[in-house]
Amino acid sequence: MQACLRGYLDAIRTCRKHPRQSRSLVNADTSSGTLHRFLKEVATSQSRELMLESWSIHAHGATVLSVHENRDLQLPPHPVIESIAAAIREYAKRQATLLLRRKGPHIASIASRLHAGLGAYGLSRYYVLVEDPKHQDLLILDLKHQPIPSPWPYLPKDLRRRVNRSCDGSSGGRVMAAQERLGFHVDPYLGHVELTGGSFSVRERSPWKAALPNDDFDHDCLEQVGGLVGRAHARSDPAFALALHRRIRDEADRFIAHTSEIASAYAEQVKKDWSSFRSRLRHGIL
């Protein structure tokens, strides 16, 4: 935890002095240690073809999502499919993405995505298989329900008003705006749609989607991860790095200790919540 925070502060200091550093890339060539090995393995072992092979099937002359073969997919009710298809057509017009070529978008298949997410686990999520005119291939759009976040009621009213104005009160639009500000090579398919079940973010499912193994989280790796977060925060607002420096100045050790204390207490609370949930479930209280 402290290594991650040190990497974060180092990135903030660098971006304060050299703002362009907020846009420096971390990939298999620029990383080191376990992070380098992980990124190199992902780059060589993943591909769009393998992703489509995992989530789709060719049948009756067409490629569709494999809802009957993949336990993580399910065919939604027909009214939901129609609602999503209509929303994606409007999304494509609003985003003016490549999906509009060929009088698109051509939607090949729609499915519910199951068993995915951490904080989003159990929320409605859908995969939409569409034609990708740029690559003469198919891509998967990932639609994820974005409810109001738990800290929202505790934020200052003025801040909530400004956020709502910037995204027309849409939680999916809020997520889209955050990813645009924090990202570097932002997904061109990033957007949002409003469905009966709520507000949803839209993005392309990355063919290089993978999770860093727990065993790879050594000090060197975590310093690099902290640096990634620091550069993302510095990208989000040109004044951020300077403002944070002014708040912390010579109190980096205190910042690290305070943030570590909050994180540790939060982790312990999560364990207690999980234990309570399992106990109540076991005794039939839930």
Residue boundaries of the structural domains of the chain:
2-26+211-282, 47-204
Q: Please say if the pLDDT value at position 105 is more than 90.
A: no
Tell me what the mean pLDDT of segment 33-46 comes to.
94
Distance CA 171, CA 199 (A): 6
Q: Average pLDDT of the chain?
A: 92
Candidate from 34-48, 57-71, 100-114, 236-250 with smallest mean pLDDT: 100-114
pLDDT, tens only, 240-251 = 999 999 999 889
pLDDT, tens only, 171-205 = 999 999 999 999 988 888 999 999 988 999 999 99
Per-residue pLDDT, 118: 76
Per-residue pLDDT, 225: 96
At 230, the pLDDT band (50, 70, 90 cuts) reads: very high
Percent of the chain at pLDDT exceeding 90:
78
Per-residue pLDDT, 132: 72
- Cβ contact 28:40 at 8 Å: yes
Tell whether omega for the bond before 207 is within 30 degrees of 0, i.e. cis.
no
Q: Please say if the pLDDT value at position 100 is more than 80.
A: no
Per-residue pLDDT, 59: 86
Half-sphere exposure of 196 (CA within 13 A, CB side): 8
Q: Please say if the pLDDT value at position 135 is more than 80.
A: no
Per-residue pLDDT, 18: 95
**3-state secondary structure labels for all residues of the chain:** CHHHHHHHHHHHHHHHHCHHHHHCCCCCCCCCHHHHHHHHHHHHHCCHHHHHHHHEEEECCEEEECCCCCCCEECCCHHHHHHHHHHHHHHHHHHCCHHHHHHCCCEEEEEEECCCCCCCCCCCEEEEEEEECCCCEEEEEEEEECCCCCCHHHCCHHHHHHHHHHHCCCHHHHHHHHHHHHCCCCCCCCEEEEECCEEEEEEECCCCCCCCCHHHCCHHHHHHHHHHHHHHHHHHCCCHHHHHHHHHCCCHHHHHHHHHHHHHHHHHHHHHHHHHHHHHHHCCCC
Candidate from 104-108, 140-144, 153-157 with smallest mean pLDDT: 104-108
Structure tokens that stand for 263 in this block: 């994180």
Residues in the chain: 286
Higher pLDDT, 133 or 257: 257
Higher pLDDT, 44 or 121: 44
